């Protein structure tokens, strides 16, 4: 069969003279090396474009980026919230909902896992260092993105275990928010040592996985993280 097309969400980056829709090249490399055709999805904000994009992709990757507005889960922002983009929030929630409705393979990365949980009715810790007394380090400022930072424990009865073939792996970490109350229809598949949720997956959909770390930044130095991208590409093929 032809290589499946994997849509990747983007973020808006403002420069002095222009605004750009961007995504890390590491997402593109990961999907390409896994056997898929990466397609960047710009932030249009037009509802009639949602179905057209979903019509033209075989799977969806929700990329990382800004904090998600706490108003979406019924809270006012604490002083730890630095940057939000309500247009991106609305656009990606609609993309996810349409892809989810069609049972399309979906992978949420960092912000992506948080968006999945909110879309399905869950909420977030706005800042784990403030709201979780036992929280260890999760957002090193000076550490390279490809460096492993802390370990996670993976549940055996999960797609994540089937992908990595291990109950414990080391990951990178660049987040100050995390899933708090899990949405209905999902289960927790990985936690950090102190219990922060690091991965979730759908109970009833074929392939909807969210991870709190950035596997796309690890693939060059730690090739086993390619297995996650191979898994979504294979799910897209199986879904064809």
Residues with catalytic annotation? 110, 214, 216
The per-residue b/e assignment along 202-219, b for 16 or more CB within 10 angstroms, e otherwise, is: beebebbbbbbbbbbbbb
Helices (H) and strands (E) in the chain, counts: 7, 13
- Residue 142, judged by CB atoms within 10 A of its CB (0-12, 13-18, 19+), counts as exposed
Three-state DSSP class for residue 187: strand
CB atoms within 10 A of CB 37: 16
CA angle 113, 115, 121 (to 5 degrees): 105
* Strand (E) or helix (H) holding 169: strand 168-171
Tokens of 194: 């102190």
Q: Which residue has the tokens 């896992």?
A: 113
Contact 236, 4 (CB under 8 A): yes
């Amino acid at each position: 069969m032809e290589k499946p097309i994997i849509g990747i969400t983007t973020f808006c980056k403002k420069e002095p003279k222009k605004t750009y829709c961007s995504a890390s090249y590491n997402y593109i490399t990961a999907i390409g090396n896994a056997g898929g055709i990466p397609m960047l999805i710009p932030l249009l904000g037009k509802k009639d474009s949602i179905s057209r994009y979903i019509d033209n992709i075989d799977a969806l990757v929700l990329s990382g980026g800004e904090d998600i507005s706490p108003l979406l889960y019924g809270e006012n922002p604490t002083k730890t919230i630095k940057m939000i983009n309500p247009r991106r929030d609305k656009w990606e929630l609609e993309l996810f909902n349409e892809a989810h409705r069609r049972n399309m393979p979906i992978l949420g990365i960092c912000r992506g896992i948080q968006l999945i949980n909110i879309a399905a009715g869950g909420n977030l810790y706005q800042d784990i260092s403030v709201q979780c007394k036992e929280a260890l380090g999760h957002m090193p400022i000076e550490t390279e993105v490809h460096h492993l930072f802390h370990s996670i424990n993976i549940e055996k009865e999960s797609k994540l275990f089937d992908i990595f073939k291990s109950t414990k792996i080391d990951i990178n970490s660049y987040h100050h928010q995390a899933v708090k109350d899990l949405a209905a229809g999902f289960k927790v598949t990985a936690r950090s040592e102190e219990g922060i949720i690091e991965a979730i997956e759908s109970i009833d959909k074929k392939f909807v996985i969210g991870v709190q770390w950035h596997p796309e930044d690890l693939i060059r130095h730690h090739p086993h993280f390619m297995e996650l991208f191979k898994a979504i590409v294979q799910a897209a093929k199986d879904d064809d």
